[in-house]
Amino acid sequence: MRNGRILAEGHPDLLLERFSKPSLEDVFLHLCLREDNIAGGSMQRGPSTTREQRLLLGNSPDSKDGDKERLLNGSYDDDVGMISPNDPNAPFSSPPVPQDVAIISYDNRGSHCSDNFKNCCAGFPKMRNIVALLIKNGHVMRKNVGFLLFQFLLPAIQIALFAFCIGGTPKGLNVQIVNKDVGVSIPGLNISVSDAFITQLDSEVMTKHYTNSVAVGKEHVRNGSAWALFLFHTNFSQDSLERMNGSSNKSVVEGSTVEIWMDETNQQIFMTLKAKIVEAYQNLAAAVVQQVKDRYNISLPTNLTSTEQLPVHYNTPIYGRDKNTFLDFVAPGIMCSIIYFLAVGLTALTLVMEIKEGLFERSLVSGVTVLEIMLGHIGTQFLVMVIQTAVLVVFAFAVFNVYTVGPMVVVVLFELLVGMTGMSLGFVISTGASNEQAATQLSLAVVFPFLLASGILWPIEAMPQWLQYISICLPLTLAVEAQRSVVGRGWDLSYYVVYRGYLVAAGWAVGFLLLALIISKIRHSA
């Protein structure tokens, strides 16, 4: 077949005998040269000459050596073009065509103008060819129904993850409370403004834990088990009522102020806590003012919407800085994800291409094991990843001034470990994919879900509880949390959150590598 047309059809042995050629390649070349010569000389031989007549010229053993030369030089005479294939007197007639060999004829009775038109329009798409290709592609897609269904479900999965993981209000945030307030007694009424304030704090957002010591409360914040510490002074209730009644005495202002220490490394969380504190005090003030005014006709101000009027003092953050930005929050996670997905890309196509090119089988035949092949690739790709990590760290901290107080050695080592996890996942994709297209699609499919569900762009505390359990099981979630603690809090490997992240990343790397070995053995033993 050539250009969508069948030149000859029959058993290979009969074709070799028919055209007296040593190989099928020579037969194909012979037919192609003949068709080119016929197409070029069709306008000189007259409208009555058919391609069938010309295809049968020069097929005798005596003429096979000069056949190609005449075709290449265009030395066929016009008279030869009129020779009948069954004429025994023809000087270049061929032996009878065997029954099992069919020479396909194409009548060239078109005029000079029609030939020119066809030549001009030869490059235009033909609808019948397009329809045929559509049908062919449809049959190919039907053979990959599972992969096709996955492609249909992937957009729904990704938008669902976006809705569940991004933009929600964090919940279950642990806070420590030290309440020294003794309350205040008014004839016929005992009031504890501190208890009322604590009650107004959103219990869905904050999980409240009580302690008697400020030092103990701060330690909970320092070790990461709490996000904030609230301190209510001894005369908080009495001073709060006097302050709401217009007193500006310094001792009254200080006694009615809630002291708060926060971990401000996570912008979304500390902004949520501050918003809930404002909301709680507004609700508290309205309730207390109304209660006291109704019973004792005490005139209290009710315009408490301004944050400057709130009896809250935010002390120097235990972690973070007063002007933390969203960049400070997402940078550690984005750095991990960049190295992770670059590493996936380094190895996702490696084994697929080796299998396609035959290098994988040659290595196995020569006595090399699959594990050795993977370790060899890890060794070479690791050098690439080291350079990528160096460039990433320099640009993040030196060029764009991402906030960091952690040891840089721990940051770099953690990035390399996360990259090793990504490389191992790439091997899983490479061993499981049947071709380059499938490997590419699978690599892209893991990017968006991991980016959304690993707490990189938004705190996992804002996810539904069931999704938080799934998120923790992902390779990047605990790793990102550990890296964020190193960068924002200055923690090292002595902290549980950090070495847990290291162990989880290493475990995923080993697990992915073992899974890739198992898949490879199953595929090549079948």
Higher per-residue confidence, 414 vs 33: 414
Per-residue pLDDT reduced to its tens digit, 152-207: 887 788 788 888 888 888 999 999 999 999 888 776 667 788 898 999 999 999 99
Per-residue pLDDT reduced to its tens digit, 482-498: 999 999 999 999 999 99
Domain topology for 173-314: abc type-2 transporter like fold (3.40.1710)
What's the token pair of residue 320?
């973070």
Quote the CA–CA distance of 119 and 172 in Å, as a whole number: 75
Mean pLDDT in the chain? Answer: 79
Per-residue pLDDT reduced to its tens digit, 308-335: 467 788 888 898 877 778 888 899 999 9
In the predicted structure, residue 523 carries a pLDDT above the cut 60: yes
β-pairing verdict for 8-9 and 102-103: antiparallel
What's the token pair of residue 201?
């704090």
| Residue ranges of domains in the chain | 8-124, 130-165, 173-314, 326-525
Segment 94-117 shows an average pLDDT of: 51
Helical ranges in 297-369 per DSSP H = 326-348, 350-357, 359-365
Cα 279 from chain centroid (whole Å): 39
The verdict on pTM exceeding 0.85 is: no
What's the token pair of residue 506?
């290493």
Per-residue pLDDT reduced to its tens digit, 236-258: 988 887 877 777 788 888 898 99
Confirm if 9 and 28 have CB atoms less than 8 A apart: no
Quote the CA–CA distance of 478 and 152 in Å, as a whole number: 30
Quote the CA–CA distance of 473 and 420 in Å, as a whole number: 18
Cα-Cα end-to-end distance for the chain? 35
Q: Which of 192, 257, 259 is nearest to 221 (CA)?
A: 259
What backbone phi and psi angles, to 5 degrees, belong to 405?
-130, 5
